Structure 1
C-alpha cells in the first residue's frame, strides 16, 4: 500500500526499548487516522444527502430505467460473466506457463500479494483482473438487458476527457505523500524498474483498475442499488464484496473497505465510473512503480502505518477530486452515444 509521511517528532518520547517505540507509533497512526476520518465524515454525510443538481439519472439505480430490466438479469450477467472470466483466466495462465514455466507460475500464484514484488507476478496479477472488462461486455451482450455503456455512467457513456482530468488531483496527492515517505524511510528493496515494465504497467494497470471498477462499482453496486433503491446501502454492500476479494490481514481489510466506500461515493456523486477509475489507477500505478523502485514492498500483512496512510490518502484524494470536479463542472458533461 502507498505510504504517507508522518511527522514523527509529534510522537517523540524518551523510551528505553523498541517495543515501546513501536506501540507509541501505532497509537499515533491510529489517532491520526481517526481524526482525519472524523474531520471529513460530516463533509461526507453532507454530500451523500444532496440530490444531483443536474438532470442525469441517479447512477446507482440507473438500470431500473431500462425497459428490459428485470431483477434477476444482473444475476444472469454475473453467471455468464464468471464463465467467460474463468475461460480467459485459464487462457492467461496457459500463456504465462508456456512462456515462463508452469512451476514458476504456480509458485507465484501461491505468494499472494507478495507476487507483486516481481515483474512477472505483477503482469499476471494485473491482467487477471483486467479481463473482468471483456467478461462483463460479453455477458451484457448475451443477456441484452441494457447497453454496456450504462455501466460507464448515467450521462450517456464513458467520458475519456473526464477520466484524464480526474487523474490530475489524486496523482498530485499520491506523489507528494509517496515522495515524502521515500525521503524519510529510504530504500526498502532493490531497484528493478525497467523501461519495459514502466510502459507495460502504464497500459495494463489502468485496464486492471477499470475492469475492477466496472465489476464492483458498476455491476455489483448498480445491482444492489436497483434492488433496494437506497444508494448509500448499495455503496456499503458493494464495498463489503470488494473487501472480500482482497485477502489482506485485518488492518488491510478495513483499509480496503474504506477505499471501497470512497470509490463508491465518488462514482455515485459523479454519476459514472471515470473519476473512480482514475483514482484507482493512480493508486495502483504509484504502488507498482514505487515497489519496482524498491521504495515500497507489496505484502498481504498490513502494518498500522500502512493502514493509516491508506485511509488518509484515500479520503484526501476522494474529497479533493470531488470538490474540484464539482466546482469545475467536470461531472456535468454528457457523452452523447450509448453503445
Structure 2
C-alpha cells in the first residue's frame, strides 16, 4: 500500500468535494498516518491530545463518582457495589450496578478522547474511527456477524464438553435477563472505548512521528495486558488479542473489526456467566481455553482482513471500470 500524506487538507475543513470523494481520498491513507492530514500539523499536537484526553477522563470519572454517591445516598440499596469498588478498585460484574459502573467507567474514555482531539487538534472522534473519517457501519455490521460466527464452534464445543461431564447447568432467570439486557446496552461502548484508547489513539499519535505502524501496534500491548488480571495463560492470550487487534486496525484502516471482536468476546463471556455457562470473574485460563481463544483471534483476524481486502478491491474496481 502506498502512503499518501496530504498536509494541507483538514477532514473538518469546508471543501467542494463530495463526501464520497473525500472518503475515497482518505482510504488511500495508512490509518496510522492520518494525523498528518491536519491543516497545520505540529509535532506537539498529538502529545497534547493524549494529555487533554487524560485530564478529561479524570474529570469525567470524578464527576461520575460524585453523581453515583449522590444517587446512593437516596438509594442505599446500591451502596454495596461502591463499597466493593472502594476496597478492591474493581467492580463486581455479577451485580447490575457493578456491571453498569464497571463498563460505564471505561466507556467514559470515548468522550474523553473526543474532548482531547477537539481541544488539541480541532478534530472529531471520527478521525480515530477510520480513514473515512467516521465509523463505517457497512464494515462494522458484517464484522459483528463474522465475530459471532467464529465464536459459535467454541461455544458449541464447550457446551458439549460440559454436557458430557454433567456440569452443564444453564439457568435463565429474571435477574439473568436483566443482566443480559444491561450487558447488551453497555458492553459495546466499553469495548469500543478500549479500542479507541489502546489501538486508535496510540497508532495515530505515534504515526504522526514515525512511519512504521508497528510502533503504534506493539507499544500499547503491555499497558493493555496490565489492565487485566489473569494467570500466565490468560495474560499471554490478552497479549495475542492486543497484537491481532492492532494489526486489524492498521490493515483495515479503522476500528470496526477490532470493536466487533471485542464486543462479541465480552458479551459471550458476560452472558455465559449470568446464565451459568461460564465464569466471567475467574482469573485462571485452562490450556484448552487458551488455544481455543487464540484460534478464534487468529481466525477472525485472517478472515476480517481478507473480507476487507476483497470488498475494498471490488469497490475500487467498480469505480474505475464502468459497466459496458
- State the TM-score bracket (shorter-chain normalisation): 0.7 to 0.9
1:105 — aligned with what?
82
Q: Is the 8 A contact 2:46 2:205 kept in 1?
A: yes
CA distance in 1, matches of 2:109, 2:250: 21
* Larger RCO (CA under 8 A, 6+ residues apart): 1
The alpha carbon displacement at 1:249 in A equals 2.5
- Asked if 1:201 corresponds to 2:183, the answer is yes
SS of residue in 2 equivalent to 1:315: helix
TM-score normalised by the chain length of structure 1: 0.75
Q: Are the equivalent residues in 2 in contact too, given 1:89–1:128 (CA < 8 A)? A: yes
Q: How does 1:110-149 map to 2 (within 5 A)?
A: 110=87, 115-149=92-126
* 2:33 alignment partner, one of 56, 61, 72: 61
Q: 1:94 to 1:307 in 2, by over 3 A?
A: farther
TM-score, L = length of structure 2: 0.78
Change (3 A) 1:108 1:294: farther
Where does residue 169 of structure 1 map in the other structure? 146
Bigger shift: residues 75-84 or 126-135: 75-84
SS of the equivalent of 2:258 reads: helix
CA distance in 2, matches of 1:265, 1:198: 31
Name whichever of 184-193 and 237-246 sits farther off.
Answer: 184-193
With over 3 angstroms needed to count, the CA separation of the structure-2 counterparts of 1:274 and 1:205, relative to structure 1, is: same
Q: Residue 168 of structure 2 is aligned with which of 187, 190, 213?
A: 187
Give the deviation of 1:103 after TM superposition.
4.4
**Separation of aligned partners in 1, 2:90 and 2:81:** 16
CA offsets 1:236-288 (integer angstroms, 9 cap, x no match):
11223322322333222211111011111111111111111111111111111
Q: 1:41-56 to 2 correspondence within 5 Å?
A: 56=28
| Runs (4+) off by over 4 Å | 108-114, 188-193, 330-333
Please list every run of 5 or more consecutive structure 1 residues that lacks an aligned counterpart in the other structure: 1-49, 334-339
The answer for unaligned runs of 5 or more in structure 2 is: 4-23, 317-324
Distance 2:169 2:93 in 1: 15
Any conservation in 1 of the 2:144–2:261 contact (CA below 8 Å)? yes
Q: Which residue of 2 aligns with 1:280?
A: 262
Aligned match of 1:323 in 288, 306, 311?
Answer: 306
- Cα distance in 2 between the residues matched to 1:320 and 1:126: 28
Give the Å deviation of 1:329. 3.4
Question: What RMSD in Å do the two structures reach over aligned CA positions?
Answer: 2.8
Give the direction of change, closer, same or farther, for the CA distance of 1:101–1:197 in structure 2 (3 Å limit).
Answer: closer
Q: Is the 8 A contact 1:248 1:302 kept in 2?
A: yes
1:74 aligned residue: 46
CA separation of 1:230 and 1:93: change in aligned 2, threshold 3 A? same
Aligned residues: 284
In structure 1, the residue matched to 2:221 is 239
1:249 corresponds to which residue?
A: 231
Q: For 1:112 and 1:217, how far apart are their aligned partners in 2?
A: 24
Indicate if the aligned counterparts of 1:271 and 1:331 stay in contact, CA closer than 8 A: no
